[in-house]
Structure 1
Amino acid sequence: MRLYEYGGIDVLRVDEVERPVPGPGQALVRVRAAGIQPGEVHIRTGELHERWPATFPSGQGSDLAGVVVETGPQVRGVAVGDEVLGFTHARASHAEYVAVDDVNLTPRPEGLSWDAAGSLYVAGTTAYATVFAVDPGPADTVVVSGAAGGVGSLAVQLARRRGATVIGLASEPNHAWLDAHGIVPVGYGPGVAERIRQVSGGHVDAFIDTFGDGYVDLAVELGVRPERICTIRDWQAAARVGARTDGEGAAACAVVLGELARLAARGELEVPIARTYPLEQVRDAFRELERRHTHGKIVLRP
């Protein structure tokens, strides 16, 4: 997948390029599945140029899962034939092959699907970081916005594992899934503050915002202390009220990824997959993502 300029979905291209050669400490992975992210949309349009500039032609993608087909010198911990999941910071995983630093790979546990493995890194480590940031316990009530999305669907489960009462904001079609996972579902939209007060008894201890669009201010309105509000979308509001912005970068390592993968393989953490697309249909995949109504992850299969 290549970008030659900033722009809309139409700038996404699938090109034939030379197969990467793994360097020292790298493994070449034949990709079986790779997740796509909302952040990639903002990078592609140039909205995040000041924060994460692109050098053209640019690849895209960080999540991946696949099979090691070649190793470079001084590689440790992986060998040809290993099934792995991991990540790259080189914007390169939306491809058939990607060279990955060995420290960014972890074994794919038996029982973890390729789709779940290939879409777990960004959403999983981001969810992990947000839950760690607000530090919920058994006596706490936590609200999560975008509770059925890629990050939100994992954050609600991880917060619930900490023993907290978790309220998930989502559309009506996703309420049954939330309820089945021990989450209290609440519809978003006008009147949401009052609906949250009704199900929480008027007390909310922490708030994880995975959606943006005013939820930081809602958390403040609900009486949540700023240090227990974490947003991954509304950095301006966080700066204004003193909320936290711990996201993927705060837990971006193979150790955390491996822990999440083992939980998922044991059935203790569900990684919902909304839909899969072949790499050639990458534009269709992003059209669906940009509607912002998917339940779980959208995955490319190179």
Structure 2
Amino acid sequence: MHAIRLHTFGPAENLTYEETEDPRPGPGQVRIAVRAAGVHLLDTALREGMRGPAPAPATLPTVPGREIAGIVDALGDNTSEDLLGRRVVAHLGFAPGGYAELAVTDADRLHDIPERLDFAEAVAMIGTGRTAMGIVQFAEPGPTDVVLVPAAAGGIGTLLVQYAKNAGATVIGLAGGPTKTARVTANGADLAIDYTDPHWPERLDTHRGKITLVYDGVGGDTARTAIDLLAPDGRHIVFGWSSQGISSDSPYLVEGLSTNVLGPEMMRRAGGPDPVRTLELRALTEAAEGRLTPAVHRFPLAEAAAAHRALENRATTGKVVLEP
């Protein structure tokens, strides 16, 4: 098979497209002929050898990637024959191997792909969608809310805009450049603002003190401006710091307004014996019933390095997916 391999930590150019041995499923596992593999911002940090919520790979070379969708083409021992040939999607957890034509995972990680979704859309919902469902459980929007979504053209931002609009909220989306703001408008936002314009906060002067909810995955100056716009009882839900890189600490959290939702609390809120699976199922159900439609930015598998560069440079719209 062909796969993307990382031999040395460093820049995107260190991701190489190579031919390697086909993996074989072990007991309780399946092998998937991959049709789509998700690319996460965390992947770019791990590529550089940094540590984030998941540990950097202990040994090199490695095949990155933890989100896959495809068709089950081989079974390990003690695995149901009914799985063979099924369209499935799975998050591999901390075990990498997704940037490849073939990948192996435990059978109990699989979800059937809803009929209305293609492989790339299913990958978007199993990763990005799962996170979005984890975020909204901290602050469910409603008809009286005015919701601000920075990075509204991104994978998570796209879903948060749709979710808030479905709940009847007024939604304001921030995005970089006219192409992205047009996408935000098409996605249903009541107002789309280009944050690359240095005067963008002025367009929100009439909303100052009226925004009730900010879903913030950006941080930095954008977050500080958003907090200034919040109503006195507003909610600032923080799930990332893309403008400052991967970080476990945020200098702009405000006591009484800000809630950092990253970490174990998201899983505790989801509940159930397997909270990760609870969120995955919720995300897939929302998409299957047409309430959420993920945005997908597709790259050929062989162009994984270009996908990483585009993601790091904010040149993508929606969930970044590699297709073999």
Asked whether the two chains share a fold, i.e. TM above 0.5, the reply is: yes
**2:199 aligned partner, one-letter code:** G
Query: 1: CA distance between counterparts of 2:301 and 2:35?
Result: 11
Where in structure 2 are there 5+ consecutive unaligned residues? 242-246, 268-274
Pick one of 121, 125, 145 that aligns with 2:126: 121
Cα gap change, 1:51 to 1:110, in 2 (>3 Å): closer
Equivalent in the alignment of 1:65? 69
Equivalent in the alignment of 2:271? none
Pick one of 226, 229, 243 that aligns with 2:237: 229
Equivalent in the alignment of 1:111? 116
Kindly state the Cα deviation for residue 77 of structure 1 after the two structures are TM-superposed: 9.8
Query: 1: CA distance between counterparts of 2:69 and 2:106?
Result: 13
Equivalent in the alignment of 1:263? 286
Q: Does 1:210 align with 2:217?
A: yes
Where in structure 1 are there 5+ consecutive unaligned residues? none
Aligned residue pair count: 300
State the SS of the aligned residue for 1:14.
strand
Q: Does 1:191 align with 2:199?
A: yes
Query: 1: CA distance between counterparts of 2:52 and 2:218?
Result: 21
Identity %: 31
Further displaced range: 72-81 or 55-64? 72-81
Query: 2: CA distance between counterparts of 1:119 and 1:35?
Result: 7
Equivalent in the alignment of 1:79? 83
Equivalent in the alignment of 1:278? 300
Aligned residues: CA RMSD: 2.6
**1:196 aligned partner, one-letter code:** L
Could you report, residue by residue, the CA deviation over 1:158-213 in whole angstroms, capped at 9, with x for unpaired residues? Answer: 22223222211113223333233331212214333332342x36411111112233
Query: 2: CA distance between counterparts of 1:12 and 1:239?
Result: 34
Could you report, residue by residue, the CA deviation over 1:117-146 in whole angstroms, capped at 9, with x for unpaired residues? Answer: 233322111222222223222211111110
Further displaced range: 48-57 or 78-87? 48-57
**2:292 aligned partner, one-letter code:** L
Query: 2: CA distance between counterparts of 1:155 and 1:50?
Result: 22
State the SS of the aligned residue for 1:260.
helix
Q: Does 1:47 align with 2:50?
A: yes
TM-score by length of 2: 0.82
Equivalent in the alignment of 2:178? 172
Pick one of 7, 10, 17 that aligns with 1:7: 10
Query: 2: CA distance between counterparts of 1:49 and 1:79?
Result: 34
After the TM superposition, list the runs of 4 or more consecutive aligned residues in structure 1 that deviate by more than 6 angstroms. Answer: none
Kindly state the Cα deviation for residue 247 of structure 1 after the two structures are TM-superposed: 4.6
Equivalent in the alignment of 1:142? 147
**2:187 aligned partner, one-letter code:** H
**2:223 aligned partner, one-letter code:** V
Further displaced range: 85-94 or 178-187? 178-187
Kindly state the Cα deviation for residue 100 of structure 1 after the two structures are TM-superposed: 1.5
**2:287 aligned partner, one-letter code:** A
Further displaced range: 232-241 or 82-91? 232-241
Query: 2: CA distance between counterparts of 1:150 and 1:120?
Result: 9
Cα gap change, 1:75 to 1:2, in 2 (>3 Å): same
Kindly state the Cα deviation for residue 50 of structure 1 after the two structures are TM-superposed: 8.9
Whether the 8 Å CA contact 1:127–1:151 is kept in 2: the answer is yes
**2:119 aligned partner, one-letter code:** W
Query: 2: CA distance between counterparts of 1:22 and 1:5?
Result: 27
Further displaced range: 260-269 or 159-168? 260-269
State the SS of the aligned residue for 2:83.
coil
Whether the 8 Å CA contact 1:27–1:78 is kept in 2: the answer is no
State the SS of the aligned residue for 1:99.
strand
Pick one of 88, 92, 115 that aligns with 2:92: 88
Equivalent in the alignment of 2:31? 28
Kindly state the Cα deviation for residue 112 of structure 1 after the two structures are TM-superposed: 0.8
State the SS of the aligned residue for 2:74.
strand
State the SS of the aligned residue for 2:214.
strand
State the SS of the aligned residue for 2:260.
coil
Could you report, residue by residue, the CA deviation over 1:242-271 in whole angstroms, capped at 9, with x for unpaired residues? Answer: 533325973673343233234334432221
Kindly state the Cα deviation for residue 229 of structure 1 after the two structures are TM-superposed: 2.4
Whether the 8 Å CA contact 2:224–2:252 is kept in 1: the answer is no
Query: 2: CA distance between counterparts of 1:283 and 1:228?
Result: 34
Kindly state the Cα deviation for residue 76 of structure 1 after the two structures are TM-superposed: 6.0
Whether the 8 Å CA contact 1:33–1:119 is kept in 2: the answer is no
Equivalent in the alignment of 2:272? none
Query: 2: CA distance between counterparts of 1:237 and 1:58?
Result: 31
Whether the 8 Å CA contact 2:212–2:234 is kept in 1: the answer is no
